[in-house]
Amino acid sequence: DVKVTQSSRYLVKRTGEKVFLECVQDMDHENMFWYRQDPGLGLRLIYFSYDVKMKEKGDIPEGYSVSREKKERFSLILESASTNQTSMYLCASSPRRGWTEAFFGQGTRLTVV
């Protein structure tokens, strides 16, 4: 089975902190994604990557950056956390370019205080 693992289920951070959310997939997938999930808004794409060191902005990239130094790992970085970034963050991967099924991690619930 494909496994997408997010390093933390719950995080509490202070305003202004630099926050790293880590995601690892074990199936040699090319594509990796970070989504943000908020009630009533569904899932919104923050960033995605289709190759090592490649990244593309999604629909809501402001306040976030990403890093993909290895194929299996995709990190989401909040440079200076703010309270409006309190949310559920979901990582996903898919096998290759052009659409195929996406596999999701269990999510990280981030609270910024």
Positive or negative: CA dihedral 38, 44, 46, 50: positive
Closer CB to another protein, 15 or 47, in the complex: 47
End-to-end CA distance of the chain: 37
Q: How far is the CB of 50 from another protein (least distance, A)?
A: 6
Q: How far is the CB of 92 from another protein (least distance, A)?
A: 8
Query: Would you say 75 or 93 has its CB closer to another protein?
Result: 93
Q: Helix or strand or coil: residue 82? A: coil
Residue ranges binding another protein (CB under 8 A)? 4, 31, 35, 40-45, 48, 50, 56, 58, 90, 92, 94, 97-99, 101-107
CB 79 within 8 A of CB 91: no
Smallest distance from the beta carbon of 15 to another protein, in angstroms?
Answer: 25
3-state SS, residue 85: helix
63/95 with CB nearer another protein:
95
Contact 32, 85 (CB under 8 A): no
- Pick the closer one to another protein by CB: 63 or 107: 107
